[in-house]
Structure 1
C-alpha cells in the first residue's frame, strides 16, 4: 500500500507557490517591462516563449510531486521524483553563478533548493519504508 509522503507534499506546495510567483510576479516585473523595451519582436517573442516554458515545467512538476506525495500516480516512480529534485537543484546554479558574477543578490535559488532537498529526503524515506 502506498502511503503519503509529507516531504513530497511540502515540496509540491513550495513548487506550486514558485509557479504562481513565476507566473504572476515574473509577468509583471520582468516580462511586461521587457515587452515595452526596444528589443526586437523576434528576440522578445523567444524570451517570452522560454519564460512560459519554465512556467509549464513548474506547474507539471508541482502536479507530479503533489500526486506522488498523496500516494497517487507516480508515488512508486522514485526515479522521476529524483529527476525533479535534480532539476530543481540545477535551477539553483544559474542564479548563484549570476549573483556571484554580477555581485548581486539573485534570490530565486532560495525557492528551488528546499524543493530539491525535500524531494531527495522524501525519496530516502520511501526507500526506508519499502
Structure 2
C-alpha cells in the first residue's frame, strides 16, 4: 500500500464531498437563483458538475492506485499536476481580489494543494 496516495486520495474524496455539499449550497444555489442570463447560468451549472465528476474520479483513481502494487505513474502524475494547477488558479484569482484576507475567503487551494503534493510524492517523483 502507498500511504502517500492513500492520504492524497482521502483528502481528494473529502474535497469532493465539501465541493458537492457546502459548495452546492454556497455557490450553485445562489448562482441558479441569480439574474445571470440563462445560457451563462446553465453553462456555469454544467461546469460545476464537471468539476464534481473530475474531483470524484480523481479521488477514486488515487485511492485505487494506493492499493496497487504497480500504480500508473503517468496517471498519478497527471492527477498531481492537475491538483497543483487547480490550487495555483485559486491562489492567483484570489490574490487578485480586492478583499481583506483573500486567501481565507476562497480557501479551496488549502485542500487542492496537499492532494497534488502528496500524489507527487506518492508517484515516486517527489523526493522519495
Shared fold per TM-score greater than 0.5:
yes
Shift of 1:91: 0.2
C-alpha root-mean-square deviation of aligned residues, in Å? Answer: 1.9
Alignment correspondent of 2:20: 23
CA distance in 2, matches of 1:43, 1:96: 24
Aligned equivalents of 1:116 and 1:94: distance in 2? 13
For residue 51 of structure 1, report the CA deviation from its aligned partner.
0.7
CA apart distance, 1:98: 1.4
Equivalenced residue count is 123
SS at match of 1:11: helix
Structure 1: stretches of 5+ with no match in the other structure: none
Q: Report the equivalent of 2:29.
A: 32
What is the CA-CA distance between 1:107 and the residue it aligns to? 1.2
Structure 2: gaps of 5 or more residues: none
Residues 102-111 or 77-86, more deviating: 102-111
Structure 1 residue ranges, 4+ long, deviating more than 6 angstroms after superposition: none
Give the match for residue 50 of structure 2.
Answer: 53
